[in-house]
Structure 1
Amino acid sequence: MTEHPILFTIFLIFSGAAVVATLALYARQALLISYILLGVLLGPSVAGLVNDSELVREMSNIGIMFLLFLMGLELNPRELLLLLKKTTTVTVLSSALFALCGGLIAHLFDFTLTESLIIGAAMMFSSTIIGLKLLPTTVLHHQHTGELVISILLFQDLIAILLLLALKGGSGAELSVLEIIKLVVALPLLIGISALFVKYVFFPLMKKFDTIKEYIFLITIGWCLGLAEAATSLGLSHEIGAFIAGISLATSPVSFFISENLKPLRDFFLVLFFFSLGAGFDLAMLDDVILPAALIATAMLLMKPLVFDRLLRLVGENKARSTEVGARLGQMSEFSLLLAILALESKLIGLEASYLIQLATLLTFLVSTYRVLFKYPTPIALSAKLRRD
């Protein structure tokens, strides 16, 4: 058991996931929730069988990259640019409203000004994982809905990176400004490099060896992970690099083949992601943060769908689509968790504020997942009528 800790951890996670998934399906419960619960049960707070939750979380980040890569494959670059113009107003206004609400609630519970600002900032984002995992990708009449969700999440991702850079920059204002300038230059640079590489290297190789499926699989994974690493070297995130890698291949005739073949690999790492959320939470902190966390979670669950719905209607989307996008984005984000951990490590917030953000995020994950599963088509819907892929 101790000779191969990684192998033993993988065994526990996936054997346990198979058991809880079976029980969840019989009980008509959401699989994502069962993975989080399994993490709590096997993690340090309960059984202690999986102690290195950080290792699991690092591995699970690959799943997020593949998820964004596959969603990029589904999007036409020109349509995405048009959507980003439309959703910029929606994203900026909604982020400001969510931050203001979260910060005011934190201030009411006597958190410091800095803690209240960071707690408010953590409210701004919606979950890429929940939003995209529950989004059908092969049903034509959902395509525009998916594009709206992707464009809002992508813009939020950029805002989140700016905030994380500011935290990493510490107290030096000059460093933060330099990092922001670097980010503004890095994004178009990465897009330009990827376009040239795909046109003059990737596509010619693909045409020459397109009959060898194993080669297509390998070169695709290499491209996704390679551009993700290039993005981090330029000061961006792995996720943005993977998304751009997917977008750059969206016009390829083999994009559908790539998408279908990478889905099992994506799901493998996403199980790790949801498990790591549960394993990383300390149940001993519940008594200290349960009330403010529940209040913030409730406020976000009520406010986010309504705000997105109203703002999307203002920019010309119809009522049904605006309501659905609002519901799909009606939770906090994995970026909220990262912000909480990084702010704690930087000593900008205390342990209580960090766990407040983490618990509120998990609560919104739980409730919003059920809200979408019971009302809208998803690949993992409990009802056969709503199950779409």
Structure 2
Amino acid sequence: MSCFASRDSLLVPALKKRYGKTHWFGKELIRSCFWDNRMELWSVLAEILLLVGLAFAFGTLSKRLRQSPIIGYLAAGVVAGPVLFNKNAVTTMAELGVDLMLFSIGLEFSVSRLKAMGSRILGAGVLQIVLTALLFVPLLFLAFPLGRSLTLGILLSFSSTAVVLRVLIENTMLDSVRGRIALAILLVQDLAVVPFLLVLSFFNPASQETHILIQAVKTVAGAAGLIFIFYLAFYQMIPKLMMTRGFFAERELVVLLAILSALGAIWGAHALGLSPALGAFIAGMLLGESPFASQIRSDIGSIRILFLTLFFTSIGMLLDPRWMLSHIHLVAISTLLIFFIKTLAASGSAFIAGLTRRQALTTGITLAQIGEFSLVAASTAAQNRIIGEEILTFVVGVTVLSLFLTPYLVVYAQPLAGFLLKRLAGERSIPEEESRSGAPDMVCGICIIGFGPAGQRVAEALMKKNWQPEIIELNPISAKKAQDMGLIVHQGDATSLDFIKHCRIEGFRVVVIAIPDPSSAQTLIRHVRTLSSECILVVRARYDITCQSLKAAGADILVNEENLVGEKLAEALSAVMEKDGTWEMACGIAGSHAEPKPSKES
């Protein structure tokens, strides 16, 4: 308050002196400008604090009840909704959370990763969306016009990436057969969200076909321009900046660059009159090919979590508890019907992709819920008057109930699939392994963290034996050396747990930590052991005094630098002393007078 008061006392006399007492710049105007802005700022901050606090409390409670924290965030919005009076500000920030989520998803969609998924898996994802829409549209057409039925059919085809992946990872199921196929279908769904949101953003039942066509052409042209701008920024400017000596060592600058890339892409799309979600996704895809994509994804993690939490709470604010209680029977029946249809569509898609009946049905049950992007699409459709507010409320209610049941469906999908196949098809209930011994599949034999001189020598020795290690390196110059050697490189800060998670460090059989700093090495060991207890950790110990702490942290094999240096010095000294012409040196070390070295003949 003192800051605003002092500003008021200084500005008002100065303005009066310049413009006079009767000028419209008066004390009341200045005071109202500063005071109103200040009050609005603090009121919005108070409401965000309330939402985040409630989200933390309900998220913690949900976790104790073995539910996804997202359920707690939705509940926080339900509780906080009636007492908030700045909902527009909260909703705006929530939309930013969706854009940041799409930016992160775009980072996952590098062209190389799409190729690695294979046409069969990508086809299964597309087929799941098409089959789900085809099954829903005839039923919806009984009550709604065709356009609205098609919109609802498509938005109901999206499953929850956030909840399903979290449960699969927590239960070490992500690397199982159904985990991999479910992940592929979810990624295809996320990819389909972007064009679907684009269509909804400029479509309106009252709009003429010519107007829609013009909007589509503008969107395509704007997207092309945006891709060109992002290409110049992400492939020409940022890599050169990253290669600047010492830049990557300043972690604050790297974090700021990551946030600037994400928010700049969102704002750039908005400035060109395009969907911010489109801009975020395109920027993420372009950055996905860069070596520092994993680091950027890690650096924006905290801010993304904040805005996504606000997104889920804002969705909860749309739910009317009294309406939910009075229509609980309709919501429950609709949820069961949606579970049945989506299980049927996803199972059929997985079966056509080559999975067994049991694996396909397990995958279908895993993806039977309605996802967070269904809520985004429904909200966009309501804003454009494609669907009414009552339909939006119904979609929110069904989504909340389906998300509440999702953790149980994912965990018990396999026994439930076995039970259904036994009852319906007479198949014997033979359990299939979710994963080998609960451990993730090994993506590569060896990972080297740190590509300085020590890491380079390790890589060269391995490559001579036809082993291709993967490299994690912060310094862009060292990372470039590894790329020139034909190695896969993850550029970023390995001491970040989120970063090495994205590098799938738990999938390596051997991890070599070749960085010199003992404290960073100790942090790395703990992070790797948090993610994997199976891999072998070979660690560089620069000082003898640090060996005990590194061993206690979880290192399997320690290479003591001081011992090695001592041994090499002793070997070098012995070699020198054994050479011709060093007789005087040997005698001096022995403390005796140097006599002429006896000849070989004598």
Same fold (TM over 0.5): yes
Contact 1:33 1:366 in 2 (8 A): yes
Equivalent runs, 1:298-337 vs 2, <5 Å: 298-316=336-354, 326-327=364-365, 329-337=367-375
Greater strand share, structure number: 2
Note the C-alpha offset of 1:115: 4.8
Q: Residue 229 of structure 1: SS of its match in structure 2?
A: helix
| Segment of structure 1 superposing worse, 141-150 or 153-162 | 141-150
1:205 matched to 2:241: yes
Match of 2:91 in 1: 57
Match of 2:214 in 1: 178
Note the C-alpha offset of 1:216: 0.9
Over aligned residue pairs, what C-alpha RMSD do you find? Answer: 3.9
Note the C-alpha offset of 1:232: 4.0
TM-score in terms of structure 1 length: 0.79
Residues 25, 368 of structure 1: CA spacing in aligned structure 2 closer, same or farther, 3 A cutoff? closer
Task: Supply the distance in 1 between the matched residues of 2:230 and 2:242 (Cα, whole angstroms).
Answer: 15
Q: Residue 100 of structure 2: SS of its match in structure 1?
A: helix
Residues 352, 200 of structure 1: CA spacing in aligned structure 2 closer, same or farther, 3 A cutoff? closer
Residues 148, 106 of structure 1: CA spacing in aligned structure 2 closer, same or farther, 3 A cutoff? closer
Of structures 1 and 2, the one scoring higher in RCO (CA 8 A, sep 6+) is 1
Task: Supply the distance in 1 between the matched residues of 2:113 and 2:57 (Cα, whole angstroms).
Answer: 42
Match of 1:34 in 2: 72
Residues 220, 328 of structure 1: CA spacing in aligned structure 2 closer, same or farther, 3 A cutoff? farther
Task: Supply the distance in 2 between the matched residues of 1:308 and 1:105 (Cα, whole angstroms).
Answer: 18
Match of 1:98 in 2: 132
Partner amino acid, structure 1, of 2:241: L
Contact 2:159 2:186 in 1 (8 A): no
1:80 matched to 2:114: yes
Match of 1:68 in 2: 102
Match of 2:156 in 1: 123
Note the C-alpha offset of 1:214: 0.8
1:195 matched to 2:228: no
Note the C-alpha offset of 1:21: 3.0
Q: Residue 55 of structure 1: SS of its match in structure 2?
A: helix
Q: Deviations over 1:232-275 (max 9, x none)?
A: 45565333322332332334443333333332222222221221
Q: Deviations over 1:10-66 (max 9, x none)?
A: 22122223322333333333311111112112222xxxx224444323212333333
- Same amino acid, percent of matched pairs: 28
| Segment of structure 1 superposing worse, 189-198 or 203-212 | 189-198
Q: Residue 200 of structure 2: SS of its match in structure 1?
A: helix
Contact 2:59 2:71 in 1 (8 A): no
Greater helix share, structure number: 1
Match of 2:203 in 1: 166
Aligned counterpart in structure 1 of residue 311 of structure 2, from 270, 273, 278: 273
| Segment of structure 1 superposing worse, 265-274 or 83-92 | 83-92
Task: Supply the distance in 1 between the matched residues of 2:318 and 2:208 (Cα, whole angstroms).
Answer: 31
Equivalent runs, 1:217-232 vs 2, <5 Å: 217-232=255-270
Partner amino acid, structure 2, of 1:57: T
Residues 94, 228 of structure 1: CA spacing in aligned structure 2 closer, same or farther, 3 A cutoff? same
Match of 2:192 in 1: 155
Q: Residue 410 of structure 2: SS of its match in structure 1?
A: helix
Partner amino acid, structure 1, of 2:207: S
Q: Residue 243 of structure 2: SS of its match in structure 1?
A: helix
Partner amino acid, structure 2, of 1:60: A
Residues 80, 30 of structure 1: CA spacing in aligned structure 2 closer, same or farther, 3 A cutoff? same
Note the C-alpha offset of 1:8: 1.3
Task: Supply the distance in 1 between the matched residues of 2:347 and 2:250 (Cα, whole angstroms).
Answer: 46
Note the C-alpha offset of 1:163: 3.3
Q: Deviations over 1:90-144 (max 9, x none)?
A: 4554334333444444455x45666545433432333454456656599994896
Partner amino acid, structure 2, of 1:231: A
Residues 372, 230 of structure 1: CA spacing in aligned structure 2 closer, same or farther, 3 A cutoff? farther
Contact 1:69 1:245 in 2 (8 A): yes
Partner amino acid, structure 2, of 1:152: Q
Partner amino acid, structure 1, of 2:155: A
Aligned counterpart in structure 2 of residue 6 of structure 1, from 40, 44, 50: 44
Unmatched runs of 5 consecutive residues or more in structure 2: 1-37, 414-433, 439-497, 499-529, 533-602
Partner amino acid, structure 1, of 2:234: V
Contact 1:290 1:356 in 2 (8 A): no
Contact 1:73 1:249 in 2 (8 A): yes
1:262 matched to 2:295: no
Unmatched runs of 5 consecutive residues or more in structure 1: 380-386
Partner amino acid, structure 1, of 2:368: G
Match of 1:383 in 2: none
Contact 1:343 1:349 in 2 (8 A): yes
Residues 236, 327 of structure 1: CA spacing in aligned structure 2 closer, same or farther, 3 A cutoff? farther
Tell me the number of residue pairs that the alignment of Structure 1 and Structure 2 aligns.
Answer: 375
Task: Supply the distance in 2 between the matched residues of 1:79 and 1:5 (Cα, whole angstroms).
Answer: 45
Aligned counterpart in structure 1 of residue 321 of structure 2, from 265, 283, 290: 283
Task: Supply the distance in 2 between the matched residues of 1:155 and 1:261 (Cα, whole angstroms).
Answer: 26
| Greater Rg by CA | 2
